[in-house]
């Protein structure tokens, strides 16, 4: 399944990108469609449980830096005060809940990584709860996201230590934008363009974990990334075409990642990790 985005579009033809991903997985694994979809359903259930666990008000990570914040964000949405509105307000709260669940050693789905685990669940579960999509559509959307994730991992990287957070939250936003676009009626090419828009908007995002932990600023970047995914999808679904070839955007991400100094690639030596207030806290 080591395909470029352009190859995925060619394979899909007039079919949805999720159909191409399903067929490719069947051919590679020898498993039938029912088995693959069943496993994706199990991943969707795990995402739901991560949101539930991450929404606890008394949740706190071992470091004490994160936990319990998602419930505050969700409360603002419930009170009708969220600037993001109903759908995005819920999606951002769910993204934060999943990321905090991970920081507190909960069970999550790496999508594509643990540090970026909240973006895809936040968007898909919000749509599901708002009854804008069905469970079956949600499962297929995960396949679409997976196809894009495979391309990014193959052509560039999904590791913060190698390419910065653009390789993690950036990739997650791209995967989510593609999934949202298919759910909105977009074809395979439009899904890849939405992925490119999302990645483009997070190009250069560094990986600077405070104390070397996947907590700050990681969990909060999941919130920003899910917002980027929705806006990228909306652009494409409104008829705006990405002016840069999607695979070239991935290549640009790789080149930017390669150019990042070591202090900005998960070493905890630069960026937010080196802010004076953080240094005082650690000492």
CA distance 99 to 51: 9
- Tell me, what's the pLDDT at 200? 98
Residue 279: the pLDDT is 82
For residue 282, what pLDDT is reported?
60
Instruction: Indicate if the alpha-carbon torsion angle 191, 113, 109, 216 is positive or negative.
Output: negative
φ, ψ (nearest 5 deg) of residue 95? -65, -45
Specify the number of domains making up the chain: 1
Residues in the chain where the model's pLDDT stays below 50: none
97 lies in which domain range?
Answer: 5-282
**Which residue stretches of 30-118 are H helix?**
33-54, 69-78, 85-103
The CA-based diameter of the chain, rounded to the nearest angstrom, is: 58
Contacts of 260 (CB under 8 A, 6+ apart): 163, 164, 206
> For position 278, what pLDDT does the model report?
87
- The predicted model scores a pTM of 0.97
- Supply the Cα-derived Rg of the chain in whole angstroms: 18
Which helix (H) or strand (E) segment is 277 a member of? helix 276-282
- 214: which 2 tokens? 């996947």
DSSP class per residue in 127-165: HHHTTSS-HHHHHHHHHHHHHHHHHHHHHS---HHHH-G
227's tokens: 């917002």
- If we measure between CA atoms, which residue out of 216, 186, 170 comes closest to residue 66? 216
pLDDT at position 281, please? 66
* Nearest CA-CA partner of 279 in 220, 182, 209, 211: 211
Six-digit token string for 62: 């071992």
What token pair was written down for 135? 């469970």
If we measure between CA atoms, which residue out of 11, 18, 6 comes closest to residue 180?
18
């Amino acid at each position: 399944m080591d395909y470029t985005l352009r190859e995925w579009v060619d394979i899909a033809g007039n079919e949805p990108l999720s159909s191409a991903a399903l067929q490719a997985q069947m051919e590679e694994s020898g498993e039938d469609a029912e088995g693959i979809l069943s496993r994706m359903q199990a991943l969707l259930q795990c995402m739901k449980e991560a949101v539930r666990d991450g929404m606890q008000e008394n949740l706190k990570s071992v470091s004490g830096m994160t936990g319990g914040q998602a419930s505050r964000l969700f409360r603002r949405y419930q009170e009708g005060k969220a600037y993001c509105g109903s759908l995005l307000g819920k999606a951002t709260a769910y993204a934060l809940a999943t990321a905090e669940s991970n920081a507190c050693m909960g069970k999550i789905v790496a999508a594509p990584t643990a540090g970026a685990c909240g973006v895809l669940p936040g968007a898909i579960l919000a749509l599901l709860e708002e009854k804008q999509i069905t469970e079956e559509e949600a499962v297929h959307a995960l396949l679409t996201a997976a196809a894009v994730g495979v391309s990014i991992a193959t052509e560039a990287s999904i590791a913060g230590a190698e390419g910065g957070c653009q390789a993690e939250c950036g990739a997650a936003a791209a995967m989510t934008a593609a999934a949202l676009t298919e759910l909105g009626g977009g074809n395979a090419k439009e899904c890849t363009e939405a992925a490119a828009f999302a990645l483009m908007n997070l190009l250069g995002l560094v990986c600077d974990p405070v104390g070397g932990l996947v907590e700050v600023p990681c969990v909060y970047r999941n919130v920003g990334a899910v917002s980027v995914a929705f806006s990228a999808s909306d652009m494409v679904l409104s008829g705006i075409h990405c002016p840069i070839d999607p695979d070239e955007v991935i290549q640009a991400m790789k080149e930017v990642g390669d150019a990042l100094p070591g202090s900005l690639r998960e070493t905890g030596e630069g960026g937010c990790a080196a802010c004076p207030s953080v240094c005082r806290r650690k000492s």
